[in-house]
Amino acid sequence: MTSTTRLKDLLGKGEFILAPGVFEMFSAKVADRIGFKALYMTGYGVSGSHLGLADAGLVTYRDMVERARTIAAGVSTPLIADADTGFGGLINVRETVRGYEAAGVQAIQIEDHEMPKKCGHTPNRRVIPTREMCRKIEVAVNARTRDDTLIIGRTDARTGLGLDEAIERGKAFAKAGADVIFVEAPESEDEFKRIGEAIEAPLLANMVPTGKSPAVSAEKLERFGFDIAIYPSAGMAVACAAFEANYRHLKEHGSTNGSPVPAYTMAQLHELVGFPDVWEFEKRYVEVG
């Protein structure tokens, strides 16, 4: 499936975009059915689910672009995708944008971390000079081949250098050509409000419950001047909790009967992954007996 909805058009119409985090095809297919305006492929989720490793620059461009390709092909909702630092220098940024765009991603997020990068809600993050990041954004903008591909410029300067520096970087990223600005990890509602007042560009907010930022409602974020809210952990956090609870119940009781964890039936799983289409194909083309 390929989305016919353009995120660029939604932003142009002033529609607020709420995007849950997805990281593999079960999460992507379930989220795709709910009716969100976009999905967000989380680097943390891909690193954890694909490699079982921390989001600390260990997942590669190839890992991420192939996961993006699989997700984009399997959903009808526009996909926003984490592209870390662009996976290297300027030539890597160009290749990343070209690869993500060809994979079907509509919005590509690039951040100003030093390599190796780290999750935005962990300590000891360091950022590259503003001028260097602006060059990355310029390369990313010039690398795209479709006018509806959005470049998201993210700064992680807030934690180490303060909010004023993060805001100034956001302004510089917008001037360099970024379509959307993402100031990571504001530490209060007032900081979100200040960002919305200071930066004249479409804005993205990252909602990570129990992370560095407070949970702010979509209604408030929109009022503060934000246009997109992503929820990277909305799927993986509850999935991991459900895995643990159900597996513990199985170990303790020798059965999943009576487990308090909600579960799909096999019929629901079959339908989610497309078995009805397989069966219809077999009825039409495969001889029985």
Q: How far is CA 148 from CA 134, 229, 240, in A?
A: 20, 19, 35
Return the residue matching tokens 């919005």: 107
For residue 24, is it within any domain?
yes
CATH number at residue 167: 3.20.20.60
Residue 89 lies in a domain: yes
With respect to residue 210, please indicate whether it lies within any of the assigned structural domains: yes
In a domain, 264, yes or no: no
Residue 231 near residue 207 (C-beta atoms within 8 A): yes
* Residue 266 lies inside a defined structural domain of this protein: no
Residue 275: C-alpha distances to residues 83, 133, 196, 267, 280 (Å) = 32, 46, 46, 9, 9
In order along its 289 residues, the chain shows pLDDT tens digits of 667 789 999 999 999 999 999 999 999 999 999 999 999 999 999 999 999 988 788 899 999 999 999 999 999 999 999 999 999 999 999 999 999 999 999 999 999 988 766 655 556 678 999 999 999 999 999 999 999 999 999 999 998 899 999 999 999 999 999 999 999 999 999 999 999 999 999 999 999 988 888 999 999 999 999 999 999 999 999 999 999 999 999 999 999 999 999 999 999 999 999 999 999 999 999 866 5
Q: Could you tell me if residue 268 is inside a domain?
A: no
Tell me how far apart the terminal alpha carbons of the chain are, to the nearest angstrom: 33
246 within some domain:
no
CA angle 10, 16, 18 (to 5 degrees): 105
Q: How much is the pLDDT for 211? A: 81
39-41 and 79-82: which strand pairing? parallel
Q: Is residue 271 part of a domain?
A: no
User: How many Cα atoms are found within 13 Å in the side-chain-facing hemisphere of 288?
Assistant: 6
Question: Rounded to whole angstroms, how far apart are CA atoms 152 and 167?
Answer: 15
State the pLDDT at residue 210. Answer: 81
The total domain count for the chain is 1
Residue 279: how many CA atoms within 13 Å on its side-chain side? 7
Domain range holding 65? 7-239
Angle value at C-alpha 250, between 249 and 255, nearest 5 degrees? 115
Residue 121 has a pLDDT of: 59
Say what the pTM is. Answer: 0.94
Q: Confirm if 204 and 226 have CB atoms less than 8 A apart.
A: yes
Site of tokens 């492929």 = 41
Look up residue 193 and give its two tokens: 């409000």
